[in-house]
Amino acid sequence: MDLLTPMLERRSIRRFKPEPLREGDLERILAAARRAPTDASAQLYSILRVTDPKLRRELAHLAGDQAHVAEAAEFFVPLADVHRLERLLAHRGQAMARWPRTGLHFALVDATLAGAHLAVAAEALGYGICWIGGLLNRPAEVARLLGLPRGVVPVSGLVVGVPDEKPPLRPRLPEALVLHENRYRAYSPTDLDAAYEAMAPASRRGDWLFVLERYFARGGTMEQRDPAYGFLAARQGFAADWPPEAAEALFVRGHDAGDLGEAIEQLLAGGWRGVLFGRGPFGESTVWLEKETAAERGEGKTPGEALGRAVEAALPFRE
């Protein structure tokens, strides 16, 4: 099997024939995904195959009404997953350590590698694929639809099917701009101009800046996605200073906070003039929320947990 050719000629396919995968090919590409590298043999990923047509349509809508999510032969969601590891440890009497940031990092890497193996195997068999980053537009709703437990977050979507188009190859940055040797090399103005020149065909306007502005500049897509993703990460247990229960306490009251700082910012914006952290007589964390005419106290093992308890007491539910 020649893997190099499909890798060098890969392109995103968004139009598919109404045909299923050939017999046995689904098993082949899933086997390839399971052979992906993983750190410390933990395999901190899962792959969710979506076969329910109604669910596919709902996910297509959440991803920005991308029809190919519903129409391709297969749709997968690679998942960063530490939930299974926690269950495995508990099954043998061991408690999971608290390592949310490292856990999210390695789980994202494992899930991405598994998804990439699946995609490359599918293309080697002649299928078309397309990664669906738009699935992260509303990640909490995606997690709810897919029934994801704590410790699991979606990485992306991945459609696979029989291609019904052959679009031109999209441009890529020159090797000299992405390959560094021994030390990271500073980019010169000439380098940056070369990048814009090489990537100009990525935009119908012939201006790569138009694409970069849309996604990555202030007010762009990524900035809009970030609060929702931060909240999902916190609610799923991946925020170091903001327990899932505290994130949920704010969420059901109409606020999305992905970390302790965002929670404090929203409380101050909501009229609470002070958030005072302290220690109780037994070493527990305490929080006072203060207004002109009111004060609420919360206790917990951590400052984030204590703040969550204070929020539950202080903030009414939003209808």
Q: What is the pLDDT of residue 272?
A: 81
Domain identity same for 201 and 251: no
Q: What is the pLDDT of residue 288?
A: 87
Domain identity same for 106 and 15: yes
The DSSP secondary structure of 57-88, one letter per residue, reads HHHHHHTTS-HHHHHSSEEEEEEEE-HHHHHH
Domain end point (choices 103, 138, 169): 169
Q: 42-80 pLDDT, tens per residue? A: 999 999 999 999 999 999 999 999 999 999 999 999 999
- Residue 317's pLDDT band, with cuts at 50, 70 and 90, is low
Find tokens 């229960």 and name the residue.
245
Q: Is the pLDDT of residue 145 over 60?
A: yes
- Cα 236 to Cα 284: distance, rounded to the nearest angstrom: 24
Find tokens 């203060």 and name the residue.
290
Q: Which domain holds residue 311?
A: 271-318
Q: Is the pLDDT of residue 195 over 70?
A: yes
Longest dimension (CA), the chain: 73
Inter-CA distances, 57 with 11, 90, 163, 224, Å = 24, 37, 20, 23
Domain identity same for 190 and 299: no
CA dihedral 233, 237, 242, 248 (to 10 degrees): 80
- Cα 39 to Cα 108: distance, rounded to the nearest angstrom: 11
Q: What is the pLDDT of residue 132?
A: 98
Q: Is the pLDDT of residue 27 over 70?
A: yes
* C-beta of residue 244 within 8 angstroms of C-beta of residue 236: yes
Rounded percentage of the chain residues whose pLDDT exceeds 70: 98
User: Which residue in 116, 102, 104, 105 sits closest to 35, CA to CA?
Assistant: 116
Domain identity same for 15 and 156: yes
The whole-number average pLDDT for the span 121-140 is 96
Domain identity same for 102 and 150: yes
Write out the H or E segment, with its range, that includes residue 240.
none
Q: Which of 35-44, 192-201, 280-289 has the lowest mean pLDDT?
A: 280-289
Domain identity same for 39 and 84: yes
- Cα 140 to Cα 229: distance, rounded to the nearest angstrom: 8
* C-beta of residue 241 within 8 angstroms of C-beta of residue 303: yes
- Cα 317 to Cα 319: distance, rounded to the nearest angstrom: 6
Report which residue type is found at 290.
Answer: E
Domains of the chain: total: 4
Q: What is the pLDDT of residue 282?
A: 85
- Residue 252's pLDDT band, with cuts at 50, 70 and 90, is confident
Rounded percentage of the chain residues whose pLDDT exceeds 90: 74
Q: Which of 19-33, 112-126, 301-315 has the lowest mean pLDDT?
A: 301-315
Write out the H or E segment, with its range, that includes residue 216.
helix 208-216
Q: Is the pLDDT of residue 275 over 90?
A: no
Domain identity same for 156 and 264: no
Domain identity same for 230 and 284: no
User: Which residue in 45, 25, 48 sits closest to 35, CA to CA?
Assistant: 45
- Residue 280's pLDDT band, with cuts at 50, 70 and 90, is confident
Q: Is the pLDDT of residue 140 over 60?
A: yes
Domain identity same for 128 and 265: no
Q: What is the pLDDT of residue 256?
A: 83
pTM of structure: 0.91
Q: Which of 56-60, 107-111, 191-195, 238-242 has the lowest mean pLDDT?
A: 238-242
Domain identity same for 176 and 212: yes
The whole-number average pLDDT for the span 286-294 is 84
- Cα 46 to Cα 54: distance, rounded to the nearest angstrom: 22
Domain identity same for 256 and 146: no
Q: Is the pLDDT of residue 316 over 70?
A: no
The whole-number average pLDDT for the span 227-232 is 93
Domain identity same for 81 and 160: yes
